[in-house]
Amino acid sequence: MLDELRNRDVSWFKVDSRSSSCRVGWQAARPARAGPEGDCKVDVQRLETFVAVAQSSTLAEAAERLGYARSTVTSHLQALERSLGASLLERGAAVNRLTRAGTRFLEYATDILDKLAQAQAAVAAAAEDRPSTLSIGATASLCTYRLPSFLRTLRRLMPNLETQIFVGPVAQLRDQVGRGELAAALINSAPLPAAGIRSAEGGDRRHLWTDRAVLVGTPESAARPERLLVTAPGCVYRDIAEKEVLPRLGRVRVQQVGSVDGVKSSVLGGIGVGVVPAIAVGPQLESGQLTELQPAALSPVMSELIWNPGVTPAHVIPHFQLLRPPSPLQPARPGTSYIPSGIAS
């Protein structure tokens, strides 16, 4: 880790163990570009503030997310810009926009925060002197379309972490996490208002993705829908189908086919139309095998990670807490409005 940081124009890296909050500092390799004092000293708090600003629409939103006063956020940004000798944020814009220098620095800032979390996790794991096993629950649809990239990220951040996956409905997974039978779970639910999403980003949960729900069918079944295919009770896509789609379709038969994959395969077989996440049928929509019915936009589906801090290994929690909302400057992938930091495929 130290070698990689040195290769990025860094001459020293230090974790200050004398304070409760770790600090990272470095001296730039080119002092002439580092401001009036000739050096660049940055602490973790300012890096976290900058990343939050980059991923928020306004300074007020970043302040609310961090739990700071807006003046504190402004002070952190100004101090960081003085240290770096460059403007990171465009002034006067209605929404937060990074300068070219800010966009470049964001890559380093997120990388440094991730590496610090890895260092903390490695130290904690060594102190525990035992292998870590994480029991994770997930809904069936998230197991298929989201879990693989999530697990790849965990393996990248914590190579020695072993995981065990359990599948279940949302209500059951919530109960199991609450009772400590599972350390964590990936669950999906109806979307929350903006304030609700922010409250869902507390110490033991993180909003990860917001997927677009679509009503699809083959060109033939979409032209004259006669059967609405639904998932099992308790699934958010069934709720959307029954509450938002069924009243619009009128007199059609409702047939339960189990899971999102069951709806998808049955729809492809021409049995009827159904509601699924857009990510599940992207290739079929592009090829024309399926078509999207558009009586009106359907509610998006929020997915989040929840965990029980009492049973989740201590060195894993900092990685969970590093998961952040998406930057408004980054384009979303088709079918989703969220790509969390560190959950790259």
- Tokens for 98? 């990074």
Residues 195-212 have pLDDT tens digits of: 444 444 446 888 888 889
* DSSP output for 150-215: HHHHHHHH-TT-EEEEEE--HHHHHHHHHHTSSSEEEEEES---HHHHHHTTSTTEEEEEEEPEEE
Q: Which of 148, 38, 55, 138 is nearest to 97 (CA)?
A: 55
The phi, psi pair for 209, rounded to 5°, reads -135, 155
16-20, 86-90, 169-173, 182-186: which has the minimum mean pLDDT?
A: 16-20
- Tokens for 342? 């560190």
pLDDT band, residue 133 (cuts 50/70/90): confident
Q: Which residue has the tokens 């869902």?
A: 200
Residues 24-60 have pLDDT tens digits of: 433 333 333 444 443 446 788 999 999 999 988 899 8
Q: Which of 283, 292, 304, 137 is nearest to 209 (CA)?
A: 304
Mean pLDDT score, 69-73: 92
pLDDT at 126: 66
From CA 144, how far away is CA 45, in angstroms rounded? Answer: 36
What beta strand segments (E) does the chain contain? Answer: 133-138, 162-167, 184-189, 205-211, 213-217, 227-230, 253-256, 273-277, 291-293, 301-307
Dihedral sign, CA of 187, 189, 194, 198? negative
For the chain, state the CA radius of gyration.
23
Residues 215-273 have pLDDT tens digits of: 999 999 999 999 999 999 889 999 999 999 999 888 899 999 989 999 999 999 999 99
From CA 277, how far away is CA 261, in angstroms rounded? Answer: 10
Number of CB atoms found within 10 A of residue 143's CB: 20
pLDDT at 313: 84
Mean pLDDT score, 76-101: 90
Pairing outcome for strands 213-217 and 184-189? unpaired
pLDDT at 183: 94
* DSSP output for 111-141: HHHHHHHHHHHHHHHHHHTS--EEEEEE-HH
Do the Cβ atoms of 169 and 215 come closer than 8 Å?
no
pLDDT band, residue 128 (cuts 50/70/90): low
Do the Cβ atoms of 203 and 190 come closer than 8 Å?
no
For 267, what's the count of Cα atoms within 13 Å in the CB-facing half-sphere?
32
Do the Cβ atoms of 342 and 121 come closer than 8 Å?
no
Q: pTM score > 0.85 for this model? A: no
- Tokens for 213? 């729900």
Whether residue 17 has pLDDT greater than 70? no
Beta-bridge mates of residue 184: 136, 307
Whether residue 18 has pLDDT greater than 50? no
**Residue 237 exposed, middle or buried by CB count within 10 Å (0-12, 13-18, 19+):** buried
